[in-house]
Amino acid sequence: AQSVTQLDSQVPVFEEAPVELRCNYSSSVSVYLFWYVQYPNQGLQLLLKYLSGSTLVKGINGFEAEFNKSQTSFHLRKPSVHISDTAEYFCAVTLPLGGFKTIFGAGTRLFVKA
Amino acid sequence: AAGVIQSPRHLIKEKRETATLKCYPIPRHDTVYWYQQGPGQDPQFLISFYEKMQSDKGSIPDRFSAQQFSDYHSELNMSSLELGDSALYFCASSRIRDRTNNEQFFGPGTRLTVL
């Protein structure tokens, strides 16, 4: 079975500072990895995804993530955050084939302070 | 590009009433998934369908049922609604028939409020 652990439930950071949101996963087989952002009272928006290929993945809004197979991690980073980045961020995995469900982490609340 | 469509976007019901949520997958997608996200929670998998057959089942209450129709749209039926059913319900779709990748695309969600 697969599982996702987001190591921080809340991350406060000052505007224009760099940020890293940590995600570790557990799986005995290869997985697809995703980061979603959810603004208050809104749906899930895909930030970026790792399906295969280059381990450094660039997404929208200046975010990027690096897939590290040996450490089973997929940490999300942004070099300089804005107030508008304040939101809930979910790391998620699914299996590449077979119609398996998406498993989400518990979420990390990013709070950007002025 | 076409996305997953969910209707209605917002729904308000009273306790013990019934509700039906609809999901229209991306064209040519054959698999539909339903997720429930309670307040302050991560999305939890409820149920999925492939080619109109239930393919996986998660933490879906017995009061809920779902099906996938011949045009691949899906409906989630919820009866005897409880206050705790208030949540955001997401639908996602993917295409697995020809063994393409299982990337799932999420709809905007239906926000159900039970009063």
A49 contact B CB<8A: yes
- Give ∠ CA B96-A104-B73 in degrees, rounded to 5: 40
For chain B, the structural domain boundaries read: 5-114
B107 contact A CB<8A: yes
Distance CA A62, CA A31 (A): 24
Instruction: Decide: A4 and A102 in contact? Cβ < 8 Å.
Output: no
pLDDT tens-digit profile of A45-103?
999 999 989 999 999 999 999 999 999 999 999 999 999 999 999 999 998 877 788 99
Predicted pLDDT at B84: 96
Predicted pLDDT at A96: 80
Give A17→chain B minimum CA distance, Å: 26
Residue among B31, B90, B96 minimizing CB distance to A43? B90
Return the CATH number at A67.
Answer: 2.60.40.10
Residue among A99, A103, A105 minimizing CB distance to B94? A99
Distance CA B75, CA B68 (A): 7
Distance CA B54, CA A28 (A): 25
Q: Does the distance separating the beta carbons of B103 and A99 come in below 8 Å?
A: no
Distance CA B103, CA A32 (A): 8
Please state the domain count of chain A.
1
- Residue A41: pLDDT band with limits 50, 70, 90: confident
Percent of chain A with pLDDT over 90: 81
Instruction: Decide: B110 and B9 in contact? Cβ < 8 Å.
Output: yes
Residue type, B62: D
pLDDT tens-digit profile of B79-98?
999 999 999 999 999 988 76
B25 contact A CB<8A: no
Predicted pLDDT at A95: 84
Q: What is the mean pLDDT of residues A12-23?
A: 98
DSSP A47-111: EEEE-SS-SEEE-GGG-EEEEETTTTEEEEEESS--GGG-EEEEEEEE-SSS-PPPEE---EEEE
Query: Which residue range forms the structural domain that includes residue A64?
Result: 3-113
Beta bridge pairs of residue B114: B13
Predicted pLDDT at A42: 87
Predicted pLDDT at A110: 97
Q: Does the distance separating the beta carbons of A102 and B45 come in below 8 Å?
A: yes
Beta bridge pairs of residue A110: A11, A87
Q: What is the mean pLDDT of residues A13-17?
A: 97
H/E run at residue B35: strand B31-37
- The residue ranking higher by pLDDT, A41 or B92, is B92
Phi, psi of B90 (to 5 degrees): -105, 145
Residues in chain B, pLDDT under 70:
98-101
Predicted pLDDT at B73: 97
A4 pLDDT more than 80: yes
Question: What fold characterizes domain B5-114?
Answer: Immunoglobulin-like (2.60.40)
Residue among B50, B90, B102 minimizing CB distance to A96? B102
Q: Does the distance separating the beta carbons of A101 and B48 come in below 8 Å?
A: yes
